[in-house]
Structure 1
């Protein structure tokens, strides 16, 4: 059977980046008061976040293949993925916002403001993708019910 997990993770990265970039643009605009800073921060992070998100997905895919049932349980796993991704994403946003605005405090404010919005949005994104089976190996009924 062919492994479509790479395609799945690319599609997840693209869908998350759309949601995440819109949120970043709005938060950056609100914090800085300048719509151009919002656009610059939002567009500049597309490349960095796509790469970082793809790598994050690959790591978590490998963890999901483990025999440890605690790491495979969906809600706990999605919560752990949410926290680890938010840490990576916040650091990236802070650095980019600092460079673009020229003010480290603006970078910190934008990064910390996004923590709540992004964690909520990411958790919802993970739950939606959990329902999408594209790119996942077929499971027996017993395996599927154990993962719920």
Structure 2
């Protein structure tokens, strides 16, 4: 089972990559850096929390896990 710290680092590092895409898409649609940054940051925070919860839920599911 992953430790909480590992789940947090995984979530944060993934968010950096995913937020870049959200920011880029928002900028293409709005053409405004400020609005794009707000959209990107809001999505990043919300999705980071959801990803962490998802990881912790799956850490408790033994399906597909092998010992060895």
Query: Is TM more than 0.5 here?
Result: yes
Give the Cα–Cα distance (whole angstroms) in 2 for the partners of residues 83 and 121 of structure 1: 12
Within the candidate set 11, 14, 20, 1:91 is matched to: 20
Matches within 5 A, 1:10-21: none
Give the unaligned 5+ runs of structure 2.
none
Matches within 5 A, 1:1-148: 73-137=2-66, 139=67
Between 1 and 2, higher relative CO (CA 8 Å, sep ≥ 6) is seen in 2
The Cα of 1:130 is off from its aligned counterpart by 1.4
The Cα of 1:104 is off from its aligned counterpart by 2.5
Count of residues in Structure 1 that have an aligned counterpart in Structure 2:
68
The alignment yields a C-alpha RMSD, in angstroms, of: 2.0
Give the Cα–Cα distance (whole angstroms) in 2 for the partners of residues 130 and 79 of structure 1: 13
The TM-score with structure 1 as length reference comes to 0.41
Structure possessing the higher radius of gyration over alpha carbons:
1
